[in-house]
Amino acid sequence: METGGPLSNGKVNSAGSPDLPLANFQTRRFVRTMQQVAENLWVARYPMKLLGANLGRTVTIIRIGGQVVIHSTAPFSAADAAAIRELGTPAWMVEGATIHDTYTVQGRAVFPEADMYLPPGFPDTGGGVAPKPLTQPPAEWHGLLEVLPIAGMPGLNEYVFLHVPSRTLIVADLVFNVPTTAGAWVRLLLKLASGLQGGPGVSRIFLKEVKDEAAFKQSLTKMMQWDFERVIVGHGDIIERGGKETLARLFREKGLLPSG
Protein backbone atom coordinates (compact mmCIF):
# COMPACT_ATOMS: atom_id res chain seq x y z
CA MET A 1 0.00 0.00 0.00
CA GLU A 2 1.17 3.50 -0.77
CA THR A 3 1.56 6.33 1.72
CA GLY A 4 -0.16 9.64 1.01
CA GLY A 5 0.52 13.26 1.77
CA PRO A 6 -1.14 16.72 1.72
CA LEU A 7 -4.02 17.61 -0.55
CA SER A 8 -4.00 19.24 -3.95
CA ASN A 9 -5.63 22.64 -4.35
CA GLY A 10 -7.38 21.56 -7.56
CA LYS A 11 -6.57 24.62 -9.69
CA VAL A 12 -6.68 24.20 -13.46
CA ASN A 13 -3.71 25.23 -15.56
CA SER A 14 -5.42 26.56 -18.68
CA ALA A 15 -2.11 26.82 -20.51
CA GLY A 16 -1.64 23.07 -20.27
CA SER A 17 2.14 23.21 -20.46
CA PRO A 18 3.54 19.68 -20.91
CA ASP A 19 6.80 20.65 -19.23
CA LEU A 20 5.39 21.49 -15.80
CA PRO A 21 7.69 19.73 -13.28
CA LEU A 22 6.25 17.24 -10.82
CA ALA A 23 8.09 18.35 -7.74
CA ASN A 24 10.98 20.12 -6.16
CA PHE A 25 12.45 17.17 -4.29
CA GLN A 26 14.95 19.29 -2.37
CA THR A 27 12.14 21.16 -0.62
CA ARG A 28 9.46 18.48 -1.10
CA ARG A 29 7.07 21.14 -2.34
CA PHE A 30 4.82 19.66 -4.98
CA VAL A 31 3.17 21.44 -7.87
CA ARG A 32 -0.49 21.28 -6.85
CA THR A 33 -2.32 22.05 -10.06
CA MET A 34 -4.38 20.31 -12.67
CA GLN A 35 -2.49 20.30 -15.96
CA GLN A 36 -3.96 19.78 -19.41
CA VAL A 37 -1.60 17.61 -21.43
CA ALA A 38 -3.75 17.09 -24.55
CA GLU A 39 -7.27 17.67 -25.81
CA ASN A 40 -9.69 16.01 -23.37
CA LEU A 41 -6.80 14.81 -21.17
CA TRP A 42 -5.60 16.24 -17.83
CA VAL A 43 -3.40 15.16 -14.94
CA ALA A 44 -3.37 16.21 -11.29
CA ARG A 45 -0.37 15.49 -9.08
CA TYR A 46 -0.51 14.62 -5.39
CA PRO A 47 2.31 14.04 -2.91
CA MET A 48 2.83 10.38 -2.03
CA LYS A 49 5.71 8.55 -0.43
CA LEU A 50 6.64 5.36 -2.26
CA LEU A 51 9.70 3.16 -1.79
CA GLY A 52 10.89 5.65 0.79
CA ALA A 53 10.80 8.64 -1.57
CA ASN A 54 8.21 11.26 -2.50
CA LEU A 55 7.41 10.09 -6.03
CA GLY A 56 3.87 11.40 -5.94
CA ARG A 57 0.59 10.01 -7.28
CA THR A 58 -0.72 11.02 -10.70
CA VAL A 59 -4.47 11.20 -11.27
CA THR A 60 -5.47 11.24 -14.95
CA ILE A 61 -8.79 12.68 -16.12
CA ILE A 62 -10.08 11.68 -19.57
CA ARG A 63 -13.13 13.39 -21.06
CA ILE A 64 -15.39 11.29 -23.24
CA GLY A 65 -18.30 13.32 -24.55
CA GLY A 66 -19.68 15.25 -21.60
CA GLN A 67 -18.44 12.68 -19.08
CA VAL A 68 -15.05 12.01 -17.51
CA VAL A 69 -13.00 9.01 -16.47
CA ILE A 70 -10.95 9.48 -13.30
CA HIS A 71 -7.94 7.17 -13.44
CA SER A 72 -6.52 6.69 -9.91
CA THR A 73 -7.97 8.18 -6.78
CA ALA A 74 -6.38 10.67 -4.39
CA PRO A 75 -7.31 12.68 -1.29
CA PHE A 76 -9.57 14.95 -3.33
CA SER A 77 -10.43 18.27 -1.69
CA ALA A 78 -13.70 20.08 -2.36
CA ALA A 79 -11.80 22.33 -4.78
CA ASP A 80 -10.37 19.29 -6.58
CA ALA A 81 -13.82 17.79 -6.97
CA ALA A 82 -15.23 21.06 -8.30
CA ALA A 83 -12.40 21.41 -10.83
CA ILE A 84 -12.96 17.87 -12.10
CA ARG A 85 -16.72 18.40 -12.36
CA GLU A 86 -16.08 21.50 -14.48
CA LEU A 87 -14.51 19.18 -17.06
CA GLY A 88 -17.52 16.89 -17.26
CA THR A 89 -19.79 14.59 -15.28
CA PRO A 90 -17.74 12.05 -13.30
CA ALA A 91 -19.09 8.85 -14.81
CA TRP A 92 -16.29 6.36 -14.23
CA MET A 93 -13.47 5.87 -11.74
CA VAL A 94 -10.60 3.45 -12.31
CA GLU A 95 -7.82 1.93 -10.24
CA GLY A 96 -5.15 0.42 -12.47
CA ALA A 97 -3.66 -2.17 -10.09
CA THR A 98 -4.70 -4.07 -6.99
CA ILE A 99 -2.24 -2.20 -4.75
CA HIS A 100 -3.63 1.21 -5.77
CA ASP A 101 -6.18 1.09 -2.96
CA THR A 102 -4.87 3.87 -0.72
CA TYR A 103 -7.56 6.43 -1.58
CA THR A 104 -10.23 4.30 -3.25
CA VAL A 105 -12.78 4.61 -0.45
CA GLN A 106 -12.22 8.37 -0.21
CA GLY A 107 -12.51 8.75 -3.97
CA ARG A 108 -15.80 6.88 -4.10
CA ALA A 109 -17.16 9.10 -1.35
CA VAL A 110 -16.28 12.25 -3.29
CA PHE A 111 -17.75 10.97 -6.58
CA PRO A 112 -20.52 8.56 -5.53
CA GLU A 113 -22.28 8.89 -8.87
CA ALA A 114 -19.33 7.41 -10.78
CA ASP A 115 -19.12 3.70 -11.59
CA MET A 116 -15.97 2.20 -10.07
CA TYR A 117 -13.95 -0.12 -12.33
CA LEU A 118 -11.36 -2.31 -10.62
CA PRO A 119 -8.99 -5.12 -11.59
CA PRO A 120 -9.68 -8.66 -10.35
CA GLY A 121 -8.45 -9.25 -6.81
CA PHE A 122 -8.80 -5.62 -5.74
CA PRO A 123 -9.35 -5.23 -1.96
CA ASP A 124 -12.94 -4.81 -0.80
CA THR A 125 -13.80 -1.11 -0.88
CA GLY A 126 -17.04 -1.50 1.07
CA GLY A 127 -19.80 1.05 0.76
CA GLY A 128 -22.40 -1.46 -0.37
CA VAL A 129 -21.82 -0.72 -4.07
CA ALA A 130 -20.36 -3.51 -6.15
CA PRO A 131 -17.50 -2.38 -8.40
CA LYS A 132 -17.49 -3.21 -12.09
CA PRO A 133 -14.75 -5.36 -13.67
CA LEU A 134 -12.14 -3.79 -15.93
CA THR A 135 -12.46 -6.91 -18.04
CA GLN A 136 -15.72 -5.35 -19.30
CA PRO A 137 -15.04 -1.65 -19.97
CA PRO A 138 -17.94 0.67 -20.83
CA ALA A 139 -19.13 0.76 -24.43
CA GLU A 140 -18.64 4.55 -24.45
CA TRP A 141 -14.88 4.03 -24.25
CA HIS A 142 -14.68 2.06 -27.48
CA GLY A 143 -12.24 3.59 -29.93
CA LEU A 144 -11.29 6.33 -27.47
CA LEU A 145 -9.93 4.59 -24.38
CA GLU A 146 -8.54 1.10 -24.85
CA VAL A 147 -7.83 -1.27 -21.95
CA LEU A 148 -5.27 -4.08 -21.69
CA PRO A 149 -4.57 -6.40 -18.74
CA ILE A 150 -0.92 -7.12 -17.99
CA ALA A 151 -1.07 -10.86 -17.44
CA GLY A 152 1.28 -13.05 -15.46
CA MET A 153 1.32 -11.06 -12.22
CA PRO A 154 -1.79 -12.01 -10.21
CA GLY A 155 -0.61 -10.14 -7.12
CA LEU A 156 -0.87 -6.80 -8.94
CA ASN A 157 -3.19 -7.38 -11.90
CA GLU A 158 -2.21 -4.12 -13.56
CA TYR A 159 -4.32 -2.79 -16.42
CA VAL A 160 -2.88 -0.25 -18.85
CA PHE A 161 -4.88 2.24 -20.91
CA LEU A 162 -4.46 3.96 -24.25
CA HIS A 163 -6.09 7.32 -24.87
CA VAL A 164 -6.34 6.85 -28.61
CA PRO A 165 -6.89 10.46 -29.80
CA SER A 166 -3.80 11.81 -27.99
CA ARG A 167 -1.65 8.67 -28.40
CA THR A 168 -1.14 8.52 -24.63
CA LEU A 169 -0.39 5.36 -22.65
CA ILE A 170 -1.55 5.49 -19.01
CA VAL A 171 0.03 3.09 -16.49
CA ALA A 172 -0.02 2.57 -12.73
CA ASP A 173 3.21 0.83 -11.66
CA LEU A 174 4.45 -0.80 -14.87
CA VAL A 175 6.95 2.03 -15.38
CA PHE A 176 8.20 4.83 -13.13
CA ASN A 177 9.87 8.07 -14.20
CA VAL A 178 11.99 9.43 -11.37
CA PRO A 179 12.52 13.18 -11.90
CA THR A 180 16.08 14.05 -12.83
CA THR A 181 15.83 16.86 -10.27
CA ALA A 182 15.63 14.30 -7.46
CA GLY A 183 18.47 14.69 -4.99
CA ALA A 184 21.37 12.27 -4.72
CA TRP A 185 20.01 10.76 -1.49
CA VAL A 186 16.61 10.08 -3.07
CA ARG A 187 18.21 8.46 -6.12
CA LEU A 188 20.45 6.28 -3.93
CA LEU A 189 17.51 5.22 -1.79
CA LEU A 190 15.44 4.28 -4.82
CA LYS A 191 18.32 2.43 -6.44
CA LEU A 192 18.92 0.34 -3.33
CA ALA A 193 15.22 -0.34 -2.72
CA SER A 194 14.01 -1.00 -6.24
CA GLY A 195 16.75 -0.58 -8.82
CA LEU A 196 15.20 2.68 -10.00
CA GLN A 197 17.45 5.62 -10.81
CA GLY A 198 16.84 9.04 -12.33
CA GLY A 199 14.56 8.94 -15.38
CA PRO A 200 12.30 6.14 -16.68
CA GLY A 201 12.71 2.69 -15.19
CA VAL A 202 11.07 -0.59 -14.23
CA SER A 203 11.03 -1.41 -10.53
CA ARG A 204 12.78 -4.57 -9.37
CA ILE A 205 10.00 -4.96 -6.81
CA PHE A 206 7.39 -4.84 -9.59
CA LEU A 207 9.19 -7.48 -11.65
CA LYS A 208 9.34 -9.83 -8.65
CA GLU A 209 5.55 -10.04 -8.91
CA VAL A 210 5.78 -11.67 -12.34
CA LYS A 211 4.82 -15.33 -11.87
CA ASP A 212 4.18 -16.27 -15.49
CA GLU A 213 6.89 -14.68 -17.61
CA ALA A 214 5.49 -15.95 -20.91
CA ALA A 215 2.08 -14.39 -20.24
CA PHE A 216 3.73 -11.17 -19.04
CA LYS A 217 5.85 -10.92 -22.18
CA GLN A 218 2.82 -11.56 -24.37
CA SER A 219 0.97 -8.67 -22.70
CA LEU A 220 3.93 -6.34 -23.20
CA THR A 221 4.07 -7.31 -26.87
CA LYS A 222 0.36 -6.46 -27.25
CA MET A 223 0.87 -3.15 -25.47
CA MET A 224 3.77 -2.24 -27.73
CA GLN A 225 1.52 -2.77 -30.75
CA TRP A 226 -0.49 0.24 -29.62
CA ASP A 227 0.27 3.61 -31.19
CA PHE A 228 1.48 5.90 -28.42
CA GLU A 229 3.98 8.70 -27.95
CA ARG A 230 3.30 10.04 -24.44
CA VAL A 231 3.33 7.91 -21.27
CA ILE A 232 1.59 9.02 -18.08
CA VAL A 233 3.03 7.07 -15.16
CA GLY A 234 1.36 6.58 -11.82
CA HIS A 235 4.43 7.82 -9.97
CA GLY A 236 6.86 10.36 -11.40
CA ASP A 237 7.07 12.68 -14.38
CA ILE A 238 5.18 12.27 -17.65
CA ILE A 239 7.26 10.87 -20.50
CA GLU A 240 6.12 13.49 -22.98
CA ARG A 241 7.94 12.38 -26.13
CA GLY A 242 9.43 9.12 -27.38
CA GLY A 243 7.49 7.08 -24.84
CA LYS A 244 7.09 3.99 -26.98
CA GLU A 245 10.78 3.86 -27.84
CA THR A 246 11.68 4.42 -24.19
CA LEU A 247 9.51 1.56 -22.96
CA ALA A 248 10.77 -0.73 -25.71
CA ARG A 249 14.35 -0.05 -24.61
CA LEU A 250 13.56 -0.61 -20.92
CA PHE A 251 11.84 -3.94 -21.49
CA ARG A 252 14.45 -5.14 -23.96
CA GLU A 253 17.15 -4.42 -21.38
CA LYS A 254 15.22 -6.68 -18.98
CA GLY A 255 14.92 -9.40 -21.62
CA LEU A 256 11.14 -9.02 -21.73
CA LEU A 257 10.86 -7.94 -25.37
CA PRO A 258 12.76 -9.30 -28.37
CA SER A 259 15.62 -7.13 -29.60
CA GLY A 260 15.35 -5.21 -32.84
End-to-end CA distance of the chain: 37
Of 190, 230, 215, 224, residue with least CA distance to 51: 190
Residues 6+ apart with CB under 8 A from 245: none
Range 202-207 average pLDDT: 81
CA distances for 259 relative to 10, 110, 165, 252, angstroms:
43, 46, 29, 6
Q: What is the per-residue pLDDT for 127?
A: 62
The rounded distance, in Å, linking the Cα atoms of 26 and 223 is 35
Percent of the chain at pLDDT exceeding 90: 51
Q: Are 66 and 89 in contact (CB under 8 A)?
A: yes
Enumerate the domain spans of the chain. 3-123+143-253
* Domain 3-123+143-253 CATH (choose: 1.10.275.10, 3.40.50.2300, 3.90.25.10, 3.60.15.10): 3.60.15.10
3-state secondary structure of 186: helix
Which of 8-17, 212-221, 233-242 has the least mean pLDDT?
8-17
The rounded distance, in Å, linking the Cα atoms of 180 and 188 is 13
Under the banding of pLDDT at 50, 70 and 90, the label for residue 42 is very high
pLDDT tens for each residue of 85-108: 999 999 999 999 987 777 888 889
The rounded distance, in Å, linking the Cα atoms of 36 and 47 is 19
Range 117-126 average pLDDT: 84
